[in-house]
Amino acid sequence: MKKTERFFPKWISGCVFYVSVIAVLLSAVACRKQAGVESSKKVAAAPPVEAKGPIISMMMASSIDAKGRAVNPRFNFPQKEPQITAIVRVGKIAGSPLNVAWYKTSDDSDEKLFEHQIQVKSNDRAFSVGKNPGKALAAGTYKVVATLEGQTQEMNWDVTPQKPVASNDRASSSGETPDQTRVPGPYQMIALIDSAQTSPNPTATPAGVSTADGQPPVAGSSGTLPPIGTASDICIGGGDDDMCGPEILDSTAPFVDLYVHNGSDQVVNARGALTQGSAVAEDQLSPVGTIAPAHSQEFLYDPCYYFPSSDLPGAKFRFFVSTTSTVVTLGNDTSDPTVKVISTPARGTKVRAGDKINLKVTANEQRSGGSWQTGVKVIQITAEPGGLVKDPWVNPSNLPKACDDKTWEQKDEATYTVPKNPPLIIKICVIAEDYAGNQGVKCGEFPTGDVWKGTMHTEAQASFDPGRANAYSCSSAFDATLRLVIARGEISGEGRAVYASSTCNFAAVPRCDSILFKLQGRAFSDRLEIHFVFTELVPPKCVNMGFASAYFMGQAVTIPITAPGVAEGQITSSDNPDAVSHYNTTDTIHLKCETCATQ
């Protein structure tokens, strides 16, 4: 019987819990903005409310500058980003420490990476930094969870390699490239394929892109930011930096964070209106809140409550308190759509020519815990081999819609038929793209042969300049994971090795974080003959100190089949890559067939 499996992760947005009556209302608003809500379902906007904490807001950015301002606020980071910074704004608290935990999400669970405990006081802004430990961050979806005095809030964000090409050469009318900052205006259909051109292959690795999985962030610095100076009169601020000023950027949905300081001896009222650079008439202003004399308050303002077409990136709002005003601009859409796929049969299931793979796709835009959204515009399902499985779903609206009219969720479905003489692996990818060009990509593989998985442990002895005064020797141990597919006697697979230990000196050259390789060969009734094909060192130009050195130079590895579905053995090798270097290795390999019993 075929089984059905959810083989892409489910996003779970965090909800904020408050202890006061007003804040409970706010919590209800935050909870109803979870990802996964049907696009047709109407969600009532909420009136402005005072934000009392303990956590007022969170945001993600590349870093912070010397004045405590967010640098490059966003929710999508390249693999080469040196660091990623979470910023948490604290309201009124009793004095408990703030806990900030970082996670990498996966299909089945969340992997905790590290956490910071930060001593904070009322109205502080705290920061927590995740550092890039090598040359590349591991691509994928992450989240940062902040907990303070019983309240939890989280931000979801992505580390994304160069996007698969899912477009023709038509640029946007503003002439921007996908890596440039996008602003609302003439939105381009980046993922729509021109039938007159060759269909792209999003299952392939884009040219110039590392195939390495990289490493997740590691703990960096943490602490609190310098306090914001309090004006003697009235000032309006908030947004990303919580600073007063005539213009403010707010990058985090679903609320505009508005800060008002009333230094006068009079009660004042905050009011606001949607404006796109034009003057605002008195009758256009809507109430936000009341601020007592010599007092500061924070408000959470839902753009959709008063203006049902106003929550698109680039929308501008002017807020007034007495004669003081500021313009708040909603930040860019920098969040990738999330993609969930239910496949029948499940990912990893062995398939044969003529079998059908049914794919049910759901693409979502995050309602909270991310950037301001433009909506799902294109869904594309592609297979290797075969290219497009069906015509892409394309949103009938050329321009993004706002608030509840936005395409928050879109479903699609396709059936792929395994062709005659299929390759060892069928790879199917789904790309969901929004109006800003952000792409969520999920792929699943279906073997057409038997899947073998296992490990290889390597003990390597290295010697340099033997017989000379500066002779040097050391030893290293490596652990590798192997995955093979065997069909019709042909072997294809891949492996990844990491250092387990080493006595070698890495002062002059970096030690490898990962050693990536492909596996090819032939399967016989009594043995597997495998050739290692070097793929990549991470970071580049690191030293592998003899791991698979002889195999990468062409020596085949023969592994005896010791029982049905089991291959294991110990292999020794020797290699002299140059006149002064010598490596001796002993490799212990264990492989087990995971699908042989299903034949």
The CATH code of the domain that includes 567 is 2.40.160
CB of 599 within 8 A of CB of 568? Answer: no
Q: What is the pLDDT of residue 32?
A: 33
Position 128 in a domain:
no
Q: Which of 11-15, 237-241, 385-389 has the highest mean pLDDT?
A: 385-389
User: What's the whole-number mean pLDDT along residues 548-568?
Assistant: 93
pLDDT band at 228 (very low <50, low <70, confident <90, very high): low
Host H or E run for residue 551: helix 549-552
Q: How far apart are CA 333 and CA 254, in angstroms?
A: 12
Q: Indicate the pLDDT class of residue 277, thresholds 50, 70 and 90.
A: low
Instruction: Please state, in angstroms and rounded to a whole number, the distance separating the CA atoms of residues 434 and 190.
Output: 9
In contact, 313 and 183? CB cutoff 8 Å = yes
Question: Is residue 390 located within the same domain as residue 469?
Answer: no
Q: Are residues 342 and 430 in the same domain?
A: yes
- State yes or no: pLDDT of 254 exceeds 50: yes
Spatial separation of the C-alpha atoms in residues 104 and 84, rounded to whole Å = 13
pLDDT (0 to 100) of residue 41: 57
| pLDDT at position 227 over 80 | no
Do 559 and 548 share a structural domain? yes
Q: Which of 398, 430, 447 is the last residue of a domain?
A: 447
Q: Does residue 408 belong to any structural domain of this protein? A: yes
Residue 40 confidence class, pLDDT cut points 50, 70, 90: very low
* pLDDT score at 561: 95
Pairing of strands 316-321, 324-330: antiparallel
Q: Between residues 36 and 359, which one has the greater pLDDT?
A: 359
* Residue 504 covered by a domain: yes
Terminal-residue alpha carbon distance, the chain: 13
Could you tell me the pLDDT band of residue 517, with boundaries at 50, 70 and 90? Answer: very high
- Give the Cβ contact number of residue 163 at 10 Å: 21
Task: Return the higher-pLDDT residue of 577 and 594.
Answer: 594
User: Do 475 and 364 lie in a common domain?
Assistant: no
Say whether 96 sits in a helix, a strand or coil. Answer: coil
- Flag whether 576 is in a domain: yes
The CA distance from 29 to 48, in Å, is 11
Give residue-wise pLDDT tens across range 451-493: 999 999 999 998 887 767 778 889 999 999 999 999 989 999 9
pLDDT of residue 181 exceeding 80, the answer is no
The CATH number linked to 346 is 2.60.40.10
pLDDT higher than threshold 70 for residue 193: no
Same domain, 353 and 403: yes
586 shares its domain with 475: yes
Which residues contact residue 346 at a Cβ distance below 8 angstroms, ignoring those fewer than 6 apart? 2, 3, 4, 5, 7
Q: Is the pLDDT of residue 588 over 60?
A: yes
Residue 418 — pLDDT band, cuts 50, 70, 90? very high
- Domain span at residue 578 reads 450-598
**pLDDT band per the 50, 70, 90 thresholds, residue 35:** very low
Residue 214 binned pLDDT confidence (cut-offs 50, 70, 90): confident
494 with 579, same domain: the answer is yes
Q: Are residues 438 and 568 in the same domain?
A: no
42: pLDDT confidence band, cut at 50, 70 and 90? Answer: low
- Confidence class for position 178, pLDDT limits 50, 70, 90: very low
- Between CA 486 and CA 524 the distance in angstroms is 10
| Band (327; pLDDT cuts 50, 70, 90) | very high
207 in any annotated domain? no
Q: Are residues 477 and 426 in the same domain?
A: no
Q: Tokens at residue 284, please?
A: 């256009």
User: What is the rounded average pLDDT of the residues 124-136?
Assistant: 90
Mean local confidence (pLDDT), 27-42 = 40
Domain-ending residue, one of 447, 467, 502 = 447
Domain count, the chain: 2
C-alpha dist (Å) from residue 369 to 35, 189, 323, 365, 584:
9, 25, 33, 11, 52
The answer to which of 380-389, 410-419, 510-519 has the lowest mean pLDDT is: 510-519
Is residue 480 included in any domain, yes or no? yes
The answer as to whether 313 is a domain residue is no
Backbone phi and psi for residue 476, each to the nearest 5 degrees, phi listed first: -140, 150
- Residue ending a domain, among 423, 447, 471, is 447
Is 194 contained in some domain?
no
- With cut-offs at 50, 70 and 90, classify the pLDDT of residue 284: confident
Mean pLDDT of the chain, nearest integer: 82
Name the band, by pLDDT with cuts 50, 70 and 90, for residue 202.
Answer: very low
Instruction: List CB contacts of 14: < 8 A, sequence separation 6 or more.
Output: 145, 152, 153, 154, 369
Q: Residues for the chain: how many in total?
A: 599
Average pLDDT, stretch 534-551? 85
What local confidence, expressed as pLDDT, does residue 195 receive? 27
User: Are 423 and 507 members of one domain?
Assistant: no
| pLDDT (mean) for 355-376 | 95
Confidence of residue 238 (pLDDT cuts 50, 70, 90): confident
Same domain as 436, residue 535: no
- Residue 431 sits in the same domain as residue 516: no
